[in-house]
Structure 1
Amino acid sequence: MSPPLSTSGFDDAAAIPPNFLEFYDTKSKFKRWVQRLEGAFSLYNISPSKKNAYFLHYIGAELYDTLCDLVSPCKPESKTYDANVAALTNYLDPVPLEIAEYFAFHHRHQQEGETVKEYMAVLRRMAAGCNFGSFLETALRNQLVCGLSSQKIKDRLLETRDLKLQTAFDIAVGMEVSHIEGEKTKDVNALRMNMKKQWPTMNNSQSKNNHVQDSHSKICYRCGGDHSANKCTWINASCNYCHKIGHIKKACLKLKNNQKVNFVDTEDPEKDVVQYVSESETVYLVNNCLIDSNRDNDSSKFWVSVNFSNVKLRLELDTGSAVSVIGKDDYIKHLSEHTLLKTNVKLRTYSNHYLHVLGVIIVTASVGTEKRENLKLYVVEGARLPLLGREWIRAFTWANFRDCLASVHSIETGIVPLSLQSLLDKHSKLFQEEGLGEIK
């Protein structure tokens, strides 16, 4: 900044302070800088004869060179203050074309992130070059309503009769502030809800982990009971499976390893398996499938011999059962090499009793001459009658089941004809060859 002019020998009561900024700031207009300079002249009582000298000093070296070029061959000092201001004003702030300013004004809309107050200030600045005259307030009102980004605020303003500029501005600002505050409230409430959801989950997880740790610390490896192994009454017992001293068959690790079953000792039956099958939760109807002592001699049942990879089992053919089912005991005894997978399928008997489904195994099975892979066999709790349901029936051709049933029920092939013949003999008049039969 150039040093302020010395006021010695001047008649002015005071000089413009040295902190008055010289031009040129590209962010402000030259006209407005001149207005500030005029204010300083008035504040410090600068006489008209000294205005030109102060002006030439505070415009700075770069703008002074420009002014010299504009008034050449004359010197700026030989010109009046008003002449020099007019020369620089026409150069730096030329009068715009009115139609161009009018076009820009009517295409100015509220931008993203721009508040209503900021938008209104821009419209007033742009309207200055449009020469609206007495139509200024109406033009500003119209462009404010048309250019707002919020359709909700627009609709509110369009419903107002005899809408004035100030009224439109106040309504728009009020609705904007209300919307912003409402969004802040939503964010705060959402944050609180997330915190409420996270804390119980964390607390439940910690509590559950502590419970599992406590329960494991009390489980006796000798019998599986809820006490210390040192205090177990079976400390000197002999295992009926591995014949080692110090535990019973129920807690035998060798037995569990040989079974290869993914069971865990927990009270929650839904956690008895550790893997999952991709199935939606479905409820299937099955027969009660309870085991009785004479199941193999029950002539009312249809048995099918099914070959698995290394074992042959007899399953009851049950068209009333949607899926094939096997009990836990048979699974452990014959099919424990198959990994037990978790399933969301639920099984319900016709008596509306839900079976405890432990999981499902994926097997390869043969019926007659046909072999099928990736068949689902559902494992249920306890000693249950193995069922061959409709899911498997569809997988095989019916001819194989017919052959299997004929061989299994061969003893009945002689009984059925005899019963039929006795019926025909008893009612021979009904089945006579000629005419219609009759029965009394």
Structure 2
Amino acid sequence: MGPFDESVEQWSSYTERFEYFVLANSIKSEVMVPTFLTVMGGKTFNLLRSLVTPEKPGDRSYEEIVGTLKAHYSPKPLIIAERFRFHKRNQEEGESISQFVAVLKQLSEHCEFGHSLNDTIRDRLVCGMRSGTIQKRLLTEANLTLQKALEVSLSMEMANKDAQQLSTLTLVHKVSTNVRSKTVGGKPCYRCGRTGHHPEECWCKDLDCRSCGKKGHIERVCKNKEGPSSKNTEQRKSDFKKYKNKVHKLERTEEEQSDTPSEGEESLHVLSLSDDGQGYWVTPLLDGKAVRMQVDTGAAVSLVSEGVYRKKLHHLKPQPAKITLKTYTGEAVPVSGIVTVTVKLNKQKVKLPLYIVKGSQPALLGRTWLEKIKLNWQEINMVAKVGDINLQGILRKHAAVFKDELGRMKDITVKLTVKPNSKPKCFKARSVPYAIKPKVEAELDKLVKSGVLD
């Protein structure tokens, strides 16, 4: 029998173990108190001494010692608070019926339900379980007892697990490049929106939604996208108007969360907006016309602006494009159409699709062309700005702010507000340790020279 440790077990549990210890070792009642005082440990014994002083612990009976320490370690809780915790408890995610019932029994310890304990646990079990199917089954039972509710719930829970395992083994997995792929063998998972697995096996079941804050799904499939992370529509429109002439890099995405394109369309998402003039450039011949294009491995498609199309490719009739371009704020970038051009570059000649977009975006050579055309990367030139004129101008204009020396604030009056009727106090200056006096004096001299101190 080891000493009592309140971080390991409760006092009631320890006394119950001690009583079994007494029976197992045939300890007589005459030596029960000395034995108990011996095994409880020094920490608990000293606490008991302070609680019964000026008497000695050995002068008390076993029941008095247990009651005194119980009042200290386990004060009687408020019944209304314990019942509140009991009735607020519901079955949690991933918690089995058996675990749920065990928690309810533990919470009912100090509720004093009396003879209605089993009926109360039964009611909380039915009301708090997660499975609607099992709940409906229990509500149809006449003269439902706690034991019968447990038998029905456990059997249905086991049957559901077996059915899920069997259905998982028969799932058909399909690999598709279509962005709007159809479900194979059932509906998409309501937790992540993808197919090929059961929602109970989805890795998103333990994640919190960034939109509504609830656990068990992600923002892409959230049905209540009204959380703080969703952006105001008017603000998104203003952002698009601000940056619509700077659409630069595009990437194919399968995770559009709003403004889903119509059936048969693909969605392209703008990863970044950049108009800094830097990049790698090539000049292929498009139907015999030289067009300077920026090589962009982040762009899913190749595109030119309407201005380039009217100037060099107006003889080609554009066709409707089943594609949606989006900015990083989710706003659509208008696409005028798509044409098929003959591309000549590095002794290569291929017919490839080219998208025409509205605005003044730079011509981009995207991944669809890079899959068909091999580039000589050593000959690709990079155009970059030498220095930043605007930044240097700002630095020169405000040189006093950005200089290395400390600045000064002149002609400024500081007002200190103190509490009414406050009295000043004078304290003795703290002595500086002899070992650091030279360092302190050097720092003070430095502050005087820099003008911080006079």
So what's the TM-score if we normalise by structure 1?
0.40
Q: Which has the larger radius of gyration?
A: 1
**Quick check: which one's helix share is greater?**
1
So what's the TM-score if we normalise by structure 2?
0.39
